[in-house]
Amino acid sequence: MAQVLKEEVKDKIIKSAVDEFIEKGYEYASMRNIAKKAGITAGNIYRYFESKEKLLVQIVDPVLVKLDFFMKDITNNQLDLKVFPNNNNKILFENTKMNSLTLVTVFSRFIISLFKEFKNEIIILLSNERTLSNLEIKIDLNNWLIELFKVNFKFQMNKKELAEEDITYIHAVERGFISGIVEIVRKCDDTINVQEILERYINFYF
């Protein structure tokens, strides 16, 4: 008879994985250590999660769902995280209250609002954008943000097409922006007003 998977064991695995990913980084984290922290055998963990990649997706999915819902809400369902922004998204060009630059800023501030509940999950999500881009996941935040930065660059520079050097610049800007958020969130504890610090960072960046 097949054994019944226990929800409390699954929750322990997820919590242990979060701790392991924060402590060692996703690349150097091991399923064996995660299992040990969760109080189960190395073999048993694979009954719950078939790979470290699946575990990563499970951890970041709640944040991605909230971000996707937020994007739909503020754009009246004209944008979501499952479809990349592009020049055909009229909301980014014709609505003065929600152009691409405003969208980046509002989106960043929503991430700030999730800090208290999902601090570690946000760090893991933003630290592993590229890894997640290569996995079977409904929301590719890394490339979504890059495409949004491209739209914003065209809008700000009044360009119809991007040159190769423009794309290189955009990738660097997006990577730097995300790395900055991760660095601030990682180093701020609950006694520091992280929201104020991140607001200053966003205002400086844009």
pLDDT, tens only, 65-91: 898 888 888 777 877 888 777 766 666
Instruction: Say what the pLDDT of residue 1 is.
Output: 33
pLDDT, tens only, 130-183: 788 777 777 778 888 888 888 888 878 888 889 999 999 999 998 998 899 888
Supply the mean pLDDT for the chain. Answer: 84
pLDDT at 93 over 80: no
DSSP 153: H
Q: Quick one: 43 and 64 in the same domain?
A: no
Instruction: Say what the pLDDT of residue 38 is.
Output: 95
Q: Quick one: 39 and 78 in the same domain?
A: no
Cα→Cα distances 68→120, 176, 188, Å: 19, 22, 26
Q: Where residue 1 sits, what CATH number does that domain have? A: 1.10.10.60
Whether residue 84 contacts residue 143, with contact meaning beta carbons closer than 8 Å, is answered with yes
Instruction: Say what the pLDDT of residue 162 is.
Output: 92
As for how many domains the chain has, the answer is: 2
Q: Quick one: 162 and 200 in the same domain?
A: yes
Whether residue 49 contacts residue 151, with contact meaning beta carbons closer than 8 Å, is answered with no
Whether residue 68 contacts residue 54, with contact meaning beta carbons closer than 8 Å, is answered with no
Q: Quick one: 135 and 64 in the same domain?
A: yes
Instruction: Say what the pLDDT of residue 94 is.
Output: 55
Q: Which two tokens stand for residue 189?
A: 């504890």
Q: Quick one: 102 and 166 in the same domain?
A: yes
Distance (Å, whole) CA 88 – CA 36: 50
Q: Quick one: 154 and 73 in the same domain?
A: yes
Q: Quick one: 82 and 28 in the same domain?
A: no
Poorest-confidence range of 21-25, 60-64, 101-105? 101-105
Q: Which two tokens stand for residue 84?
A: 């990349």
Q: Quick one: 42 and 97 in the same domain?
A: no
Question: Which stretch, 1-10, 132-141, 147-156, 190-199, has highest mean pLDDT?
Answer: 147-156
- For the chain, give the percent of residues with pLDDT over 70: 88
3-class secondary-structure state, position 73: helix
User: What residues make up the domain containing 96?
Assistant: 59-205
Q: Which of 129, 135, 137, 133 is nearest to 174 (CA)?
A: 129
CA quadruple 13, 19, 20, 21: dihedral positive or negative? positive
Higher local confidence (pLDDT), 55 or 190: 55
Q: Quick one: 111 and 33 in the same domain?
A: no
**Which residue carries 């919590």 as its tokens?**
15
pLDDT, tens only, 127-137: 888 788 777 77
When pLDDT is cut at 50, 70 and 90, the band that residue 35 belongs to is: very high
Q: Quick one: 46 and 85 in the same domain?
A: no
